[in-house]
Structure 1
Amino acid sequence: MSLTAHIPSHRKPRRNAPKTALRAGVAGGVLSTIAVAGAAGPAQAEPVTQTIEMPTITAGLSTAVAASAQATQQVAQDLQTQAQEDAAAATAAKTAKKAKAEAVRKAEAKKKAEAAAKAKAEAAERASRSTARTTLSATSGSSTGTAASTSSSSSSATGSAAAVIAFAQAQVGDAYVPGGTGPNSWDCSGLVQAAFRSVNIDLPRVSQSQSTAGTQVSLSNLQPGDILYWGGAGSAYHVGIYVGNGQFVGAQNSSTGVVQRPLSYDPPSGAVRVL
């Protein structure tokens, strides 16, 4: 027997039976509801579907691809333009080089032609002079005879004409030098100019002008002191002084120098009279 068998119970008696019954009824109703819901739940459940939208990247990718394509096309155009410019520059350089070579070729051809023409003219002059020398040798005789002829040729001249002739004859034997104006070397027009200057007559410096400095006269009517010219009046290439008796004095060329010769040595084209 427990120690508490005779101790009156202190448990409180149930106060209200109806309240207990109410609680039991509520609990039973809840359980019934849960049971009904549990039985009906699996049969009526629907699957849950969820759609996940992925971010759209098509637009951005298209823009990047388009930009890349445009850049590539621009580079290709730049390369093509550069290639065209390089080709044009190369063509221009080639054309300029060809034009320069052609100009040089023409200049050289012209120079050769001028040299050939000059050589031909000199050869013709030498041939003419050679023929004249042969004639002179046959007609002039010894040097003593030449001196006598010179003396007689000047005896018919008087006044300024005699002075001009004397000056010219005094230079016989001097050297011929292109552009020479004395006192020991002359060219043809330099000698004529100096001879007339000795009598205070100023003539032009060159043959072309001296050939028109006076009155044109016929070769059949020459007088001592007349200026002889070779070539056309105004375009003469050589001049000399007529000293009478069919002879003249002139600075002929570098091989002969200043000489006195008959007109047949080198027949002149015309004459002018200044005195």
Structure 2
Amino acid sequence: MSHTAHIPSHRKPRRNASKTALRAGVAGGVLSTIAVAAAAGPAQAEPVTQTIEMPTLTSGLSTAVAASAEATQQVALDLETQAHEDAAATTAAKAAKTAKAEAVRKAEAKKKAEAAAKAKAEAALRASRSEARTTLSATSGSTSVASSSSSATGSAASVVSFVKAQVGDAYVSGGTGPNSWDCSGLVQAAFRSVGVDLPRVSQAQSTAGTQVSLSNLQPGDILYWGGAGSAYHVGVYVGGGQFVGAQNPSTGVVLRSLDYDPPSGAVRVL
């Protein structure tokens, strides 16, 4: 026995002849098929279908989407709130406009009513003056002629002297002297100079003494314009058909004829 008999052989085993022939036949058939296909022309390419795998949402993306939805909802709420505020502002503006129009209407109505009342008062005053002129004319042609022979004496003379001394002073509503007066302030001061305390306002002064006829005036009598108890102006008769009165801001204290502005009546205090 050889000394190498126990060592395995390193040669490759021989291939089975039948297997080798089969493989050669298959390879030849495939090559033939490819050759025939190539000769026949290019093959129709089949469509390739590719499957794309979609990524899975991560937790961070979910949080971002949730935050975006919350922000969108907040914007919607803000827009709704703004819409309510705008509607309220519009309603308030309309209400203010309506109120203003109503106030203007009432002011115009009040102005018209005041104008009507003033016109009525002026008409009544003109009627009163017309009546006074008629009375004056009926007594010897005029009051100045009927009373021109009268002369002031005693306290009446002092009252006449006082008011004449103020002629030229300014007229100031509420004025009580010594250099500015209103009508009743001048009359009150004149009678106070002889110790007679008269009421402050013309309405009360027109009823402070005995009512006398305009045809029987004496110096020192108080003349009034308007009704007794509701007179709006007073003055002092100084004789000779004249009176002194604090008329208005444009004329001040003046000496005027009764024909200039005939009074409505007179009262005698002295």
TM-score range, shorter chain: 0.5 to 0.7
Matched, 1:122 2:122: yes
**1:146-183 deviations in Å (ceiling 9; x for gaps):** 2452332x35xx32223214555x59x99x97859899
Distance 1:266 1:209 in 2: 15
Distance 1:117 1:251, change over 3 A: farther
Distance 1:182 1:119, change over 3 A: farther
Partner secondary structure for residue 219 of structure 1: strand
CA contact (8 A) 1:252 1:259 kept: no
Q: Which runs of 5+ in 1 are unaligned?
A: 1-15, 32-52
Distance 1:125 1:250 in 2: 20
Distance 1:96 1:149 in 2: 66
Deviation at 1:199, TM superposition (A): 4.5
Equivalence for 1:164: 159
Partner secondary structure for residue 149 of structure 2: helix
Matched, 1:134 2:134: yes
> Which structure dedicates a bigger proportion of its chain to helix?
1
Equivalence for 2:8: 24
Partner secondary structure for residue 139 of structure 2: helix
Deviation at 1:139, TM superposition (A): 1.7
Q: Which runs of 5+ in 2 are unaligned?
A: 14-52, 249-253
Aligned-pair identity (%): 65
Q: How does 1:188-267 map to 2 (within 5 A)?
A: 188-193=183-188, 195-196=190-191, 199=194, 206-207=201-202, 210=205, 216-219=208-211, 225=220, 227=222, 236-241=231-236, 249=243, 251=245, 258-260=256-258, 266-267=264-265
Distance 1:106 1:129 in 2: 34
Partner secondary structure for residue 239 of structure 1: strand
Equivalence for 1:76: 76
Partner secondary structure for residue 8 of structure 2: helix
Distance 2:61 2:222 in 1: 104
| Root mean square deviation of aligned Cα | 5.1
Distance 2:198 2:268 in 1: 12
**1:13-35 deviations in Å (ceiling 9; x for gaps):** xxx835x222238x79xx8xxxx
Partner secondary structure for residue 91 of structure 2: helix
Whichever of the two has the greater Rg, that structure is 1
Partner secondary structure for residue 110 of structure 1: helix
